[in-house]
Homo-oligomer: A and B are copies of this chain.
Amino acid sequence: MQKEFDDLLEKNFDIKFNDESLLDEAFTQASYVNEHPGKNLKFYERIEFLGDAVYELVVSDYIYRRYPKLPQGRLTRLRAAMVNEHSFSSFARECHFDKYIRLGKGEEKAHARDRDSLLCDIFESFIGAVYLDQGMKPVVKFCHQVIFPKLDEGWFDEFFDHKTELQELAQADGPVDIEYHLLDENGPDNDRRFKVSVTVDDVEKGVGEGHSKKNAEQGAAKQAIKKYTE
């Protein structure tokens, strides 16, 4: 199992631990330690504490540099979306981390392995273990591979109200007039499509499509935001 996990980390993420005991600690729950007394095992919580701060900095640094015009409020909201239990547990599953957690029998029976809160902890403790073993660089590389592409895939969009953000951004230097215009509406009743544009002071800044007018407006606002922040 350990060998299988080592191979997975090396093959998928080019990560090879110098100190395997850090990886063991990061993937061991207290329930497992309690079932193996006298072995002097450690569980993941302290490493998770550190991993939490490491991940937060890596994300902050990335979005700070990537969006040079994004104001603090929106940076903070974006970070909160990326540092979030729901996101973490998905990442952990995607990386197959759930398979390698060491649990006590009771926790195994209680399906702890599928529990979002545990997967969230394990994701953070993995980050902490990589940092302790090899410093920041491989953590940053891991995030570039697993996390940051999700920004472009719209993974964190559900956390945002693009229309409100566009208003904040566009009005940063004074009042402006933002309007949404229905450009097109077609398709049968059960698969209706809407196309909407957004203008700021009568200049078109974005176009969006969707199955509802609301979705199409959010899409248009999202496209317009890009023009203000990239």
0/1 string, A39-57, CB within 8 A of B gives 1: 0000001101110111011
Chain B residues whose CB sits within 8 angstroms of the CB of A50 once the complex forms: 60-61, 64
Q: Complex: how many Å from CA A71 to CA B45?
A: 8
State which of B45, B52, B53, B72 has its C-beta within 8 Å of the C-beta of A46. Answer: B72
Interface residue tally for chain A (C-beta within 8 Å) = 21
A15 at the interface (CB under 8 A from B): no
> Which B residues touch A117, using CB under 8 A?
none
**B residues in contact with A52, CB < 8 Å:** 60
Encode A66-107 as 1/0 by CB contact (under 8 A) with B.
000011100110010000000000000000000000000000
A72 to B47, CA, bound (A): 8
- A75–B46 CB distance below 8 A: yes
Determine how close the nearest CB of chain B comes to the CB of A47; give it in whole angstroms.
8
**Bound state CA distance, A77 and B64, in angstroms?**
28
Q: Label chain A's interface by main secondary structure.
A: helix
Q: Find chain B residues with CB under 8 A from A72 CB.
A: 45-46, 48-49
Nearest residue, chain B, Cβ from A45: B72
Neighbouring B residues of A54 by C-beta, 8 Å = 57, 60
- Which B residues touch A79, using CB under 8 A? 49, 53
Are the C-beta atoms of B49 and A53 separated by less than 8 Å? no
Chain B nearest CB: distance from A29 CB in Å? 13
Residues of B within 8 A of A45 (CB): 71-72
Measured CA separation A56–B83 after assembly (Å): 14
In the bound complex, CA of A57 to CA of B131 (Å):
11
Residues of A within 8 A of B (CB): 45-46, 48-50, 52-54, 56-57, 59-61, 64, 70-72, 75-76, 79, 136
